[in-house]
Structure 1
Amino acid sequence: MTQQPFSPAALRGAVDLSSLGARPRGGAQQPPAASSAPGAAPTDTAAVPGRRGAMVPTDDSNFESVVNASLTAPVVLVLWSPQVPESVQHLRELVEAARDSGGRFQVAAADLGASPGVMQALTPLLQQAFGQVSALPVVIGLLSGQPMPFYVGVQPMAQVDQLLTKFLEAAVANGIAGRVDVGADAPDEDEGEEGELPPLHQAAYDAIDRGDWGGAITAYEQALEQDPSDEMARLGLGQVRLLERTSSLDLAAVRTRAAADPSDVSAQIEAADLDVVGGHVEDGFARLVDTVRRTSGEDRDTARTHLLSLFEVVGPQDPRVQKARSALMSALF
């Protein structure tokens, strides 16, 4: 497949979501029926998939929305079963970790008995990562629409906490730093209503969940009109613009064109955008620094200006940005 990971069906190319395509989408989803079984993990039925609640019940009908939610906040997908008590308890522990983090990630809980399509979509990935899956839970990180297999079976929370710390560091490094509103479950919450997203930010997130990049851009632009100092809106706007311009690109074709002609500025810019979207931030920066070095005049200025815009997407304090700025200065002078 040629779609890259930020397409509206964000996992295409990594797992097969075709079996879920005909299922209904939109609106709050009902939790899987088995979730009410004795001993099942508690569910937050008021949670809106992707944005509120430390945990969102996940099944075939809303799995794609959960994947899209990982474009703006990290998601930890847990495959569990009420018939496996240890998976229920470990799910509770992960939900508590999400609350303790203040909403830095959200747990998506998929009861395998109620989610055959989810399991079908993930089977090739799980087989590649773990071979035969012989225990529950199965825990997978979702970041920028890409799955990261974590582990199979119950693991000590001390080790899981270390893994989650690295996961969240990777999220911040890739500009995915949104938080989930865990409401009253948030620890030591003294800010009252401040935990809720501003309306325009919520509108942007909702648009991203729908794959509506234009709607998200409009919402962030309106937020910046109201408050030019809104750093979250500025970063969000840059990220969504990147998603919009890469959403229709053919990854293989772009890379072929860029490799064939290193002086083709537009090809190098598209390839750099795809590098950043795919998490290869340093590669994208290095590509444009090299383009600046080998070009002149208007072409050089175009490459330089685009590189500066990518610095803003990743964040000016990111050490990779600081390193690339130094390389850019050397290329220019």
Structure 2
Amino acid sequence: MVEDRGVTSTPFSGRGAIDLGALASARQNQQQAAAAVANAPAGVVIDVTEASFQAAVIERSMTVPVVLDLWAEWCGPCKQLSPILEKLAAEYAGRWILAKVDVDAEKRVAAAFQVQSIPSVFAVIMGQPVPLFQGAYPEAQIRAILDELLKVAAEQGVTGTLTDDQGQVPDEPAGAEADTEPATDPRFDAAFNAIEAGDWDGAAAAYQLILDADPSERDAIAGLATVGLYRRTEGEDEGALRSIADQPDAAADVVVQCATADFDALAGRWSLAFDRL
């Protein structure tokens, strides 16, 4: 969506030199970011791993845009950019979520996004990645990019806001008390009936009604994500698509690999989906 006009970026495979002259400014940015995040809704800034990626990024991106900050501890430009993103995430108060990925610890996630240099920033809307920029951008320029992102998200019907009670998405289910069983919850009947009829719009609308009343309802979030996968795979020949995707010369074909990854995700094979991406 946005061309790479960043000030600096560090090659993913190397160790960038630290700009000593920028340390004072970076420290000030970090202090401002910490103060802003402390007063922001819980969960506007989260750390993401491969294990939590499905719930924290894919599922939430169905209702709220998720911005990925791919960084590393040794990366000087990352230390300039991350506090700015955290400060802005707090200011936007849940209109988008900042998900931070340590590329050293989460190499498979970095590989899925084909990260070549850091910092790299992506958005995820309706489960689909959107490249934003690489390098340490100034705050005003980042703000403009985020405003554009929110417009794009709105055009796709993603206009939700993170609420205080949503908080951090756990790697594992929170427990029986917090879980809702869709099979016995009448709120889900309309969505299930629509799915059985192949009415993806009706199913999405039914799940959205549940989320309008309770944005933290995880079964509805997961259901909406699944409906998105059904939509994208409808009419596709999975066998033919996999045959094409597995050809050596198709490894770099983003359209084919993403379409095949949708089938992997629909079957719950998220590791295979990551490998294709």
TM-score when normalising by structure 1: 0.42
TM-score when normalising by structure 2: 0.50
Q: Which has the higher contact order (CA 8 A, sep 6+)?
A: 2
Task: Name the larger-Rg structure.
Answer: 1
